[in-house]
Structure 1
Amino acid sequence: MRTLPPFPSMRSFLSWCDKTEQFQPVSEPVSIRQQMTAVHRNMLERKGPVLQFDQPVLCDGSAVDIPVVVNLFGTADRVASGLGITLNEVDDLGAFLAALRTPTPPDGLRDTLSRWPMLKAALATRPKIVKSAPVQQVVLEGSDVDLGSIPVQIHWPGDEGPLITWPVVVTRPFGTEKAEIETYNAGVYRAQVLEHERLIMRWLPHRGGAAHHRTWAQQGEKTPIAIVLGTDPATLLSAALPLPENVSELTFAGAINGMRPRMVAAKSVPLMVPAEAEIVLEGWVSPTETALEGPFGDHTGYYNKAERFPVMQVTAVTHRKHPLYLSTYTGRPPDEPAIIGEVFNRLALPTIRAQIPEIRDLWLPPAACSYRMAVASIDKRYPGQARRVMMALWGMLPQFSYTKILIIVDSDIDVRNWDDVAWALATRMDPSRDVMLLQDTPMDYLDFASPHPGLAGKMGIDATTKIDSETTRDWGEVMETAHEDAAFAADLIARLTPKVTT
């Protein structure tokens, strides 16, 4: 499955980025208050390398000796590399993931042998438990815990305070044991630094971490939690992938990485954590205590309002002897989440096709906050098919329940080409017939355009050629240059070009 070597740690990935000229250290002092974000955004928009700020400056003007790494997944190529493949191989990995979701019984010995890569990937998901780990070379507990010593950024002028933006938050449900890693959830949820030993966990009700917290809170118990800051790229990306609820992101990362993930017991909470990580914040989330989180700049390009979320008491900080702090920013695209979303779009396509076979291609425009809008092309065969596909997509994955505009086009339209899509809308869609509106459906509550928080409408636009009972008119014929004439023109122009250039 992999064509690149395994990256057991973030450092091994950074080393590979350096060897492939995708890594740039920054030696001059840069403030964690907005300056880093400005530099990061500028470099991301240039499709530039990973940046490592070697002299972070804290808000009080003092220096800290923990370098800050940003722009880790600032290009689609690096996202693919983090998965162990090239960008050209993303579609193959998507097919592999679709097969893992819905495997078919092997047909004889030859078929069984051809499935060996899947078997090997499944075996790789079994974690290897170690007794000592790089991430626990330094252990700070009790009064030694000081989150202010970590260069957590303040990204935007209107941000309330320091915000951890690239944490892999590890939890497990009540009633499980710490050795049952297959029950763990690892998700990327931002965390606001509240005090030297306290954080606010912003996890939304439908996310796995929040679901685990509810199981503990219902028993009146605090939730054990570990926040992993900087780990191997397979774990980082698995934590962001929309995996099925019964698949642990930590074990799935082993399949992606092609090797068993190394885990070690946390020092102060009953959890296992990635052994090769840079920093781990251990602690407990209160079943009852909450605090106002925000406002912070978000992926919508707006500041979200302050809301109450659960509070975490940090009981231990463990890290390497000379740790790195991984960070990013969220804002109006382009940002790293939008770029990761582009690759995940391609990864998800084979799974979507397995459920809705007539879909030929699907695009979630990054500028539309990655999932608010989608364009899908279909192999149209019968009247009403576009509307059926709309309903199937909205109900297929939780992410699509937040897609408020769906445009369905024919297979001759390039969904990634706005000129093509605009032409289909202008020539194959009638607003009075081809627009479907829904009311009171689930929506990302950060969508300020919706009339009620978490509840809004959806619009489906059928921009396909109308057939049979869908129209009473004769449909136009698309004009195309004959194949032989196009070939003649290309050959003639190729022979003329040198003379024109001269």
Structure 2
Amino acid sequence: MRSLPVFPDLRAFLAYAEGQGELAHIAEPVQLRHEMTAVQLAALRLGGPILRFDDARQGERRAQMPVITNLFGTSERVAAGMGLTLDQVPTFGEFLAALRSPSPVEGMRDALSRWPVLRAALQSRPKLLRRGPVQEVAAPPDLSLIPAQTPWSGDAGPLITWPVVVTRPHASDRGQLSRYNLGVYRAQVLGPDRLILRWLAHRGGAAHYCSWLHANEPMPVAIALGCDPATLLSAALPLPETVSELAFSGVLRGARAELVAAKTVPLLVPAHAEVILEGWVHPGETASEGPFGDHTGYYNSVEPFPVMRVSTITHRQDPLYLSTVTGRPPDEPSVIGEVFNSLALPVIRAQVPEVIDLWLPAAACSYRMAVVQIDKRYPGQARRVMMALWGMLTQFSYTKTIIVVDRDINPRSWDDVVWAMATRMDPVRDVMVLDRTPMDYLDFASPREGLAGKLGIDATTKIGAETNREWGRVMQIDPEHEARAECLLQRVLA
């Protein structure tokens, strides 16, 4: 299924990108405070290459590591991170849906045809190494080694923005990898050996923290910086709680994840990362985090979050530091979200078969609004689809507005969607409002933190008991006449 090589680490992916003309070296000094943000966002909005800053500066001090940004700044590079071309993503999504809910095997021929699924299952089992490249150098717990950006002018300070945070729950063993969680959480640099970890209540890291807090014991934490693309994307995906990010990364990578024992905490960590920060989160130790600019386009409020005390830093020889910036779309997370939209569609269809297509507009923070195209067959079906989606995945519980349209409407065309809303929706009959439902607390429009309403708009043609009127007929040009017109105009305008 993969058409691109396996990328075991960040360097392999960068080498591939450079061979494709997708890596640019910037030799001029660039400030980590605010200036680098402007450069990387400008590159992203131009559909530009991965950027390597060889002279990143914190004031007059030159950073000890080159900084890599805009890694997933185009949809094509997000797909490449999974070993795919962009047009292969939907097919891979269907494969993942089959892997998640396989149908019964019917005979030997069918069993043999499922070899890719079996191979993916084998690749999902991580492999433990005795030593790994990420432990070539052991350094004191001094975070001044890390060239963390201060992205926005109103930010509280330096921020580690692509950390893959590795945790496990209390009463688990170091080797129980199925219970591990990998998450990408904001990490504010608080001092030479302290970080603030901003994990929200619904995330796996926060759930693990609660288990250690309940036991009144320090929680081991490791942060992997500069991971391979499959690990980064697996940690960023809104996977179900029962799916291991480590195992899923093996499927995306096309090769087993390779791990190594951390030096000072009882955890296994990605062996081919660039840097590992090890440390402990002690019960009840928090600090005020923020404000920081976020994907909503606003600064977050200042709130207490757990503090990680760094016990050691290990890294490769001549390590690279991977960074990004989050803000009002378009930004790197919104580009990743567009590809994940296509990847998740087959899984959604498996649960809600009448869904033909679904679009999460990047401008709506990639999840606050959804437009759903369905094959409508019976009255009330649009409402059933809305409720099914809101209850399907945690991420959909934060989707404030769902607009449902018919199969003749392109859900990715605002002109089509607005026409359907204007001609097929009655505000009294076709709008569903729910109150006091879960909501991302970053949504300042919510009347109460963590609770808000949902809006469902049925912009489909009304059938059966949904209307007492005869519905209008859509005007269309005969396809033969359209073809004739195209040929005629080509000759006239040639």
TM-score (norm 2): 0.99
CA deviation string 1:240-296 (max 9, x = no partner): 112221221112111111111111110100111111100010001111110000000
In the other structure, the counterpart of 2:207 is: 211
In the other structure, the counterpart of 1:225 is: 221
CA deviation string 1:127-179 (max 9, x = no partner): 22111211011112xxx221012110000000000111110000111111111
Could you tell me how far apart the structure 2 residues matched to 1:443 and 1:42 are? Answer: 31
Could you tell me how far apart the structure 2 residues matched to 1:435 and 1:258 are? Answer: 45
In the other structure, the counterpart of 1:36 is: 36
Could you tell me how far apart the structure 2 residues matched to 1:317 and 1:328 are? Answer: 21
In the other structure, the counterpart of 2:260 is: 264
Could you tell me how far apart the structure 2 residues matched to 1:222 and 1:461 are? Answer: 47
**Alpha-carbon offset, residue 494 of structure 1:** 2.1
CA deviation string 1:419-457 (max 9, x = no partner): 000110111111111111111010010000110011001
What SS does the corresponding residue of 1:424 show, helix, strand or coil? helix
Could you tell me how far apart the structure 1 residues matched to 2:250 and 2:458 are? Answer: 41
In the other structure, the counterpart of 2:57 is: 57
Name structure 1 gaps, 5 residues minimum.
Answer: none
**Alpha-carbon offset, residue 92 of structure 1:** 0.5
2:315 to 319, 339, 344: 319
* 1:378 counterpart = 2:378: no
* 1:473 counterpart = 2:469: yes
In the other structure, the counterpart of 2:490 is: 494
* 1:448 counterpart = 2:444: yes
Q: How does 1:76-475 map to 2 (within 5 A)?
A: 76-140=75-139, 144-475=140-471
What SS does the corresponding residue of 2:62 show, helix, strand or coil? coil
What SS does the corresponding residue of 2:61 show, helix, strand or coil? coil
Is 363-372 or 256-265 further displaced after alignment? 256-265
Matched AA of 1:192: Q
Matched AA of 2:169: P
Could you tell me how far apart the structure 1 residues matched to 2:342 and 2:464 are? Answer: 33
Matched AA of 1:230: G
Could you tell me how far apart the structure 2 residues matched to 1:442 and 1:246 are? Answer: 21
User: Is the 8 Å Cα contact of residues 54 and 65 (structure 1) preserved in structure 2?
Assistant: no
**Alpha-carbon offset, residue 390 of structure 1:** 0.7
Could you tell me how far apart the structure 2 residues matched to 1:233 and 1:445 are? Answer: 29
In the other structure, the counterpart of 1:46 is: 46
Could you tell me how far apart the structure 2 residues matched to 1:183 and 1:404 are? Answer: 31
Could you tell me how far apart the structure 2 residues matched to 1:107 and 1:495 are? Answer: 56
**Alpha-carbon offset, residue 183 of structure 1:** 1.5
User: Is the 8 Å Cα contact of residues 2 and 257 (structure 1) preserved in structure 2?
Assistant: no
Matched AA of 2:82: L
Matched AA of 1:227: I
In the other structure, the counterpart of 1:10 is: 10
CA deviation string 1:6-54 (max 9, x = no partner): 0000000000000001100100000000000000000000010000100
Q: Which structure 1 residue ranges, 4+ long, deviate > 6 Å from structure 2?
A: none
Could you tell me how far apart the structure 1 residues matched to 2:2 and 2:262 are? Answer: 30
| Percent of matched pairs sharing the same residue | 63
Could you tell me how far apart the structure 2 residues matched to 1:367 and 1:431 are? Answer: 24
RMSD over aligned CA atoms reads 0.8
Could you tell me how far apart the structure 2 residues matched to 1:164 and 1:366 are? Answer: 23
What SS does the corresponding residue of 1:346 show, helix, strand or coil? helix
User: Is the 8 Å Cα contact of residues 278 and 325 (structure 1) preserved in structure 2?
Assistant: yes
Matched AA of 1:50: I
CA deviation string 1:185-238 (max 9, x = no partner): 101011000000000010011100111111111111111111000011000000
What SS does the corresponding residue of 2:166 show, helix, strand or coil? strand
Could you tell me how far apart the structure 2 residues matched to 1:100 and 1:214 are? Answer: 31
CA deviation string 1:302-334 (max 9, x = no partner): 000000000100001000110000000110000
**Alpha-carbon offset, residue 496 of structure 1:** 2.1
User: Is the 8 Å Cα contact of residues 64 and 147 (structure 2) preserved in structure 1?
Assistant: no
Could you tell me how far apart the structure 1 residues matched to 2:63 and 2:426 are? Answer: 61
Matched AA of 1:126: R
User: Is the 8 Å Cα contact of residues 170 and 187 (structure 1) preserved in structure 2?
Assistant: yes
Matched AA of 1:459: L
What SS does the corresponding residue of 2:391 show, helix, strand or coil? helix
User: Is the 8 Å Cα contact of residues 120 and 251 (structure 2) preserved in structure 1?
Assistant: yes
Matched AA of 2:353: P
Matched AA of 1:51: L
Matched AA of 1:128: K
TM-score (norm 1): 0.97
What SS does the corresponding residue of 1:218 show, helix, strand or coil? helix
Could you tell me how far apart the structure 1 residues matched to 2:271 and 2:25 are? Answer: 25
**Alpha-carbon offset, residue 3 of structure 1:** 1.2
**Alpha-carbon offset, residue 495 of structure 1:** 2.0
What SS does the corresponding residue of 2:215 show, helix, strand or coil? coil
Aligned residues: 494
Matched AA of 1:483: P
Name structure 2 gaps, 5 residues minimum.
Answer: none
What SS does the corresponding residue of 1:396 show, helix, strand or coil? coil
Could you tell me how far apart the structure 2 residues matched to 1:299 and 1:64 are? Answer: 27
Could you tell me how far apart the structure 2 residues matched to 1:483 and 1:294 are? Answer: 58
User: Is the 8 Å Cα contact of residues 67 and 324 (structure 1) preserved in structure 2?
Assistant: yes
Could you tell me how far apart the structure 2 residues matched to 1:125 and 1:395 are? Answer: 28
User: Is the 8 Å Cα contact of residues 240 and 393 (structure 2) preserved in structure 1?
Assistant: no
